[in-house]
Each structure stands twice: as structure tokens, then as C-alpha cells.
Structure 1
Amino acid sequence: MKRKMHLVFIFVISLLLVGCAKEEIDVKIPADKSNFIQRTDYGNYSIETNKLRDFIEKKMLTKSGLYTNSKQQSFKENNARGHELLSESSGMWLEYLVYNRRYKEFRQFYAATKKTFDLKTQFSYRYIPSKHKKFPVNATLDDLRIIKALQMYSEKTGNKKYQKEAATRFAMLKKNTMSRGKIASFYDTDTKKQSSESALAYYDFPVLKYFENNKQNRKMYRQQLAVVQNGYLGDAFPLYASNYNWQSKTYSNDDLNTSEVMETFLHLSQVGKLKKVSLNWLKRQIKNNTLYNIYSINGSIVSRSHSAGSYAVAAMVFANEHDEKMYKRAMKLVWKYQVLDKDSDIYGGIGIERQNEAYSYNNLTTLLAANY
């Protein structure tokens, strides 16, 4: 009997704590417009874009999300591949739908995104349809991207419901992943723990700056900006460390994934904080077609392979810096990866023709870059 009463007591306390946790979420809807939609009209690639869009819609897009790879692949616990779905891809597709005023499809696809990935306070980063498995962890950048798309839709349509949805999702995400300048790379809803590391590429400054709209939060935004800026490796190799560890208070010495470096460059550029020396370094790589996939922190090349996605994000950086010439130069390199053989299964896609593979990240970043 005592055990029974004890369990009831715990249950009641748990309910009270859940109720309190919900009340702690302070949803503030910013009054100003966000200006998230980047438009320069530099992109004039209707032929290439139409082929790419058709490929994505026919070979990657499903009712639940987009395939990570158009090619079916076997399951691996640590790597998303094949016909698995990522919230990263869904966020980018939502952005594309807003850019192209496909508003009905946006509403339908966001509803599908919630059904596939929603963990109530955040979005799962990965879903495996064959196993009906939704991972209990998010990737904070992917959540921010979806939140940005919601705000973009709200501003283009005047729909207050989606404005509130964006602000609410940000408030919930912030509660579990953000504090004193920290942005945890992920939060696990099963263990209730956040990562001790922050990926510098995950600091989406336009979104953070927009939603942190009071005195206390503006201070946190400045702290967030400092975390990334202090990860600068130096003028000799003007890139940024990949992660900051909040327990050891140190930046990582890990090799640099260039797609993440480009995301960091883009976020800094969008708030006017990208260093001139970094931009000049990027220009040299584009001019020489030497934007390689992996570098060590001292600048040596670890992998000489290339990624269309990295070139596409580089093009976005140049568009944001109002450098039309370099934007077009970067996009010219991107389009080299488009498969033009009509007999290929990945015709129109950005991929590796001989392997019959096309990854969602490369295809969607290209699609977005072409809209600038």
C-alpha cells in the first residue's frame, strides 16, 4: 500500500513538473519583419533548375520527406543514407516552396514534416521509413531552418498562425539547446540531455538575431556571435574550428568538413561579420576550382574530392556579399555536377553518374542557390 501511494505521489509530482515546464516556455512574437528571404536576381538558370526540380520531385520527394540518396542503400546506424529521411532536407524544401510561392504545397508539406519528424519540442533529425524509426535527437541547425521557413511563409502570406508556430518552435528549441551563448548541436528527448559540443556551423545568426528580440536575449546573441568569431583559426588559414566544447572550454582540432565551413561563412556573411580575408580565401578556391572537401586546421588538404553542395553554399555567400561575378563563377562549377544523360536514372540531378547516386543536400543546396 505504501508503495502504491508512493508511486501515485511521484506521478502527481511528475504531472506538476510537466505543467511547470510548459509554463516556463516564453513565446515572444517579434514585431519586425525578418528579411530572411535572400533575393539578388543573380540566378538565371531556368533550364538547369527545371531539370533539377523535376528530378527531385520524381526521384527524391515523398509524402513524408525527401530521400537522403535517390539510390536505395543498406541501413547503417551511424550514417543516414539511401531512402532514409532527414529533417535537414525537409527544411530546405520548405524554403524552396516559399521562394516559388507554392503556398498550398508548403502547408501540406509542413504538416507532413511534423508527422514524420515532430518530437513535440523539436524535430528528429532522421527517420527510417522501413523501420518506422524516429531518432530521439535533433540537429539544431535543421530545426532553425524549418523555423526560418515558417517565418518566411508567414511574411509572404500574412498568415499569423505560421508566425506563431515559428515563434513557439523557437521558444521550445531554445529551452533545451540554448543558454549563455551556447547552442547545443543536439538534444536527446529520451535522456533529456544536450550535447556538450556546439557545431559552429549551427549558429544561424539571422534566425537567432531575429527571435532574440529583448535586452536579455540580445546579450545572448552577442555571446553566440563571440563563440563563432573566437573559433577563427587565423589569417594564415582564415577558416573556423568545427566545434566548441563547453565542458573543456576549448575549440576542436578536428579536420574541417568544407560544407560546414561554408555554412559558417554564410551565417557570418548574412549579419555582416564575414572577414575579408576569409572571403578572399574563398574567392581563390573558386577561381582555381580547389574548394576541397576536408582540410586540417593548419590548412593542409585531407581530401581532394569536391562537393557540389559546398560550391552552392559558396555561391550563396557571394550573392550575400553582392558579388555577382563570383556567384556565377561558383554556380558554373555547381552545374558541372548535373547529370545530362537522358538515359541515366539520375538525369537532371546533381550527382555521381557512374555510381548512380544523388544526395539530397547537394541537390537542395543547388536548388536554393539558383534562386538567389
Structure 2
Amino acid sequence: MKRIALLLIILCIGGVIVIMLFDGQTDVKKIIKERYTNQQGLIHAYPDQTNSEYLSESIGLYMEYLVNTKQEDAFEKQVDHLKASFIKDGTYIKWRLKDGETTNAIIDDVRIIASLKKAAEIFDQQAYRKLAVKLTQSISQTQTRNGYYVDYYDWSFEDPGDQITLSYITPAFCDILPDSEKTERLLSSLDEGTVFFPESFNVTTEAYNKNAEVHMVDQLLIALNRENQGLPSPAFRQWLTDQWNQGTIYGRYDRKRLEPTASHESVAVYALAAFYYQQIGEQDRAEDIITYSETLYREMRDEELHFFDFIHYHLSNEYIKRRNP
């Protein structure tokens, strides 16, 4: 149950959004259609900016939302867009729509595969399962190096990348991809006595990579991934609690000084922090953070919202509704 619960949590991480209400409920499909979709039905990154990027991340997140809310017809349309515009040679998913793009992004592929598998069960559509199996086989057969899964595969050069981002090693990643145990064990080799985790692991040099500036979304996801494996992170947990007790958790921090490098707050960070505390059994603190994030998100300007932030907020709301009917 713990693994299933955390899978739902990771799939439902939050983001920054201004609330938009229609008849007392947020009409997500209406907003997406009017502000994030071009005439061909493809999702662009920023509202009302049809020249912004079209990402597999966006279509995967929307598929995830649609299957979680059991909207079968809308889900089918997104699968059609996926097959027509993003899937290359029937096996690879381009991470963005751009002439000459020849790489995928494993985290986006895993999200899409997970949504297809879930939709196959909920909507009783075995075609989704077949597509999920085909995409999974493509990754497992090409996207490893030295026994580790890596972030991407370049099919023009038939060359996998040389690193794996640790925040990508989610429960869905481990459940979907075969023989992922070696990659999964990277999380258990981290030093739990230091506050911040490395961001990635180079599978060629077998060394962890640490950025001077850390992003809290990544750090919280890694902490959640570790919790999924039963691995506590006491130094990070204490530091995070101290930050919250002081009133603010910022989006970025200096790795060495442990001080913020940006003054912005993000609902994505607070949503993940709430899920983290929920996962480690501090429900009261999780609820306090959720309450604060709801106030914060009402103050944000919707014209600046990346689709990632918009849809993740609603994924979080759906998760909370299911946990608290």
C-alpha cells in the first residue's frame, strides 16, 4: 500500500496556478482548450502563446489527469495526438515537437506509459496496453548504459545518454521498467547526513553530480523516492522543518550556504513538501502547508503559468479529493 500511495503522490505533484472557477468547480478542460491548445488540438507550454514549446511532458501530464478523472473521450483524443505527432517510428516519443528532434525524455515516457496502462484497465481498451508495452520495450532495449537506465536515447545516433536524474527514479519508473533494480539502488547510496542530495548520477564515471544551486522540486522528489524505499533523510527533513518553521520554503538554495538564491515561492514546492510530510507521518504539518499553498496560489498571475504548473496543481487537487472525499 505504501508503494501505491507514493506512486499516486509522485504522479500528483503540485504547481503554481491562479484559481479559475466555473459553477463552483475548476473547469480544467475548458481552460486547456481555450488557453493552452492550438487549432490542431496540441498543447503549448504557456497560455495564449501558440509559439511556445509543445512537449511530451505536457501531453503526458494531461493524459494522467484525464485518466485519473476518468474522461475517456478526451483521453482518446490525446492518445491520437501522441501517436500522430510525438511517436517516432512507432517506438520512440520525441520530448518536444521540433524539426530534427531525435531524443526522448525517460521521465515523460514513464508517465505516458503509466497513464496508458491505467487507461487500459479503466476504459477496457487493450490497444492502450499494447502501446504501453511497445514503448516500454523500446526503452528497456535501448536506454541503458552499464546496466543503468539513463535520461534519454538519441535514435539518430543510436546512443543512450550517460546520466540518470535521481528525481526520475519514481515508483512508476521502478514498477514499469524491467531490471531497474541497479538504477533504483542509487537512491540508497546517498549520504543521509547531508542536507541536499546530488541531482544525478553519471553512469560512465559512476559518480554523483551536484549542482551549486539546488532546486527544491528536485530535492523533495528525491526525498520522496527515498521514502518509497524505506530510506529516511534525517538531515534534509530537519532542515526543511526549520525552513517551514521560519515561515518560507523558497524555490532554490545554495548547496553550501543552505541559503535561498531566489526570492520566489512556488506552490509546486509547497505541494511536494506537504506530500513529503504526509508520507513520513506528519499529517498536521502537511495540512498546514497545504492551507498556506492554497492562499499562495490564489495570488499568482495566470498569464505566467507554464502548463506543467497548471496541470500539476489540478493533479494535486484530484489526489487530495480522493484521499479526503
Residues 160-210 of structure 1: CA distance to partner in whole angstroms, max 9, x if unpaired?
332232222111112221355522111112222222121111212333234
Residue 301 of structure 1, CA deviation: 2.8
Cα distance, 1:108 vs. partner? Answer: 1.4
2:123 aligns with 157
Equivalent residue number for residue 135 of structure 1: 101
Amino acid at match of 1:88: E
Tell me the residue number matched to 2:198: 241
Match of 2:36 among 60, 66, 78: 60
Alignment of 1:14-33 (within 5 A): none
Partner secondary structure for residue 143 of structure 1: helix
Are the equivalent residues in 1 in contact too, given 2:194–2:236 (CA < 8 A)?
no
User: For residues 236 and 87 of structure 1, do their structure 2 counterparts lie closer, same or farther at Cα, with a shift above 3 Å needed?
Assistant: same
Instruction: Determine if the alignment matches structure 1 residue 97 to structure 2 residue 74.
Output: no
Question: What is the CA deviation profile of residues 44-86 of structure 1, one whole-angstrom value per residue up to 9, with x for unaligned ones?
Answer: x99699337243342114454322111538xxxxxxxx62111
Going from structure 1 to structure 2, the CA distance change for 1:160 and 1:72 (only over 3 Å counts) comes to: closer
Q: What is the TM-score with the length of structure 1 in the denominator?
A: 0.70
Q: Report the CA distance shift for 1:59/1:335 in structure 2 as closer, same or farther (over 3 A).
A: farther
Is the aligned partner of 1:267 residue 2:233?
no
Specify the code of the residue in structure 2 equivalent to 1:59: R
Is the 1:241–1:251 Cα contact (8 Å) retained in structure 2? yes
Equivalences, count:
302
Aligned to 2:322: none
What per-residue deviation string (whole Å, max 9, x for no partner) do you get for residues 299-358 of structure 1? 343323222222233334345456543443333343334457xxxxxxxxxx436xx311
Which letter maps to 1:66? I
**Equivalent residue for 1:113?**
82
- Counterparts of 2:63 and 2:176 in 1: how far apart (Å)? 19
The CA distance in 2 between the partners of 1:295 and 1:305, in whole Å, is 11
For 1:294, give the aligned amino acid: R
Gaps of 5+ in 2: 320-325
Contact 2:193/2:234 (<8 A) preserved: no
Higher relative contact order (CA 8 A, sep 6+): 2
Q: Which amino acid letter does the alignment assign opposite residue 292 of structure 1? A: Y
Could you report, residue by residue, the CA deviation over 1:99-140 in whole angstroms, capped at 9, with x for unpaired residues?
A: 111012111111112222112332111125xxxx36211111
After TM superposition, give the deviation of residue 257 of structure 1 in Å: 2.0
**Partner of residue 227, structure 1:** 186
What is the TM-score normalised by the length of structure 2? 0.79
Stretches of structure 1 that go unaligned for 5 or more consecutive residues are 1-33, 74-81, 341-350
* Aligned equivalents of 2:27, 2:222: Cα separation in 1: 26
Q: Secondary structure at the match of 1:244?
A: strand
Give, in whole Å, the separation in 2 of the partners of 1:174 and 1:196: 15
Q: CA RMSD in A?
A: 3.1
Which aligned pairs between 1:281-292 and structure 2 lie closer than 5 A? 281-292=239-250
Contact kept in structure 2, 1:183 and 1:203, CA below 8 Å: no
